[in-house]
Structure 1
Amino acid sequence: MVIDSRLRAVYDGRTEADPEQQQMVEQFVASLGPGGAEAVLDGACTLIYMFMTWLRAACEEHDKDVIEHVVPTLVATMRMMPKAFRPEVIPTMAGLLVAAGTGLSPNLWRAQYGDWTSAEMNPLEATAVLLADHVNRVSGGDHDFATRLITEALSSPDED
């Protein structure tokens, strides 16, 4: 929901987050408590993993390497966004993408380096948004593809 909202803002040409939307997200996360906030964090990592898994399959169809195709592009974009990505968090986000791109759980990859820090929360969210946008562009420019990809993945276990 948050990622889709951020993408819509980008596609609509808005550079600032909707203050009302931001307040709702902050209230929601605050209402979850520590366990719930950790679940949201795990969810963001899962989205990154799912997007990288889809991109890996798409790259393999064209004999391309997902790491070579995705990571440099996203890192270059991160460098152009100094408010969202302070220079010291870019290696962590790149490592997260590489881990997910090679089939490793981002949560388990990160766990070996310690807990997430509060300074990494916005970059983590922004990484998921950038990755969703990349999925949308690779899919042919369908602005809703990444959201549908996740929605279908979440609803498919119910169908089994």
Structure 2
Amino acid sequence: MQSSAPSERLEQLHLEPELDVERALQRRAAAGPLFKEPTKPVGAATPTEVSFGPFRLLRSQFLLLEGDKPVPLGSRALEILIALLERNGELVSKQDLMARVWPNVFVEPANLSVHVSALRRALRDGQAGNRFIVNIPGRGYCFVASVAM
């Protein structure tokens, strides 16, 4: 069987002939892995365990616990939590959070809101006197709870 050129294969499949599949695949490969590994502590100054309220974040395991039970939380929401905890008490801009959680990818700001909302739900933020994350409209988010390292 004779190998045909990419453009001939595209025409056989009735795809758009102007679509350069090989180039798109090369760009995808050059962009790096589709799924990034969990955030690892950077240097000795970065705490591997952070406690706040009834929760404990184990950074080295990319895990949030309430007591001894794992909190079901997606990786993006967990990455947002880590970014906010790293700058506890400081305003973290929406742009900074989006660049960290979705590096080299364009996403709508609504994606950030969805994941922050999921994070707040998991933390039961605003319930029973718990307040962890404050939104500064149009600017970003701030982690406001007391933190123990």
Q: TM-score, normalised by structure 2?
A: 0.31
**Is the strand fraction higher in 1 or 2?**
2
Q: Which fold has the larger relative contact order, with Cα–Cα distance below 8 Å and residues 6 or more apart in sequence?
A: 1
Greater gyration radius: 2
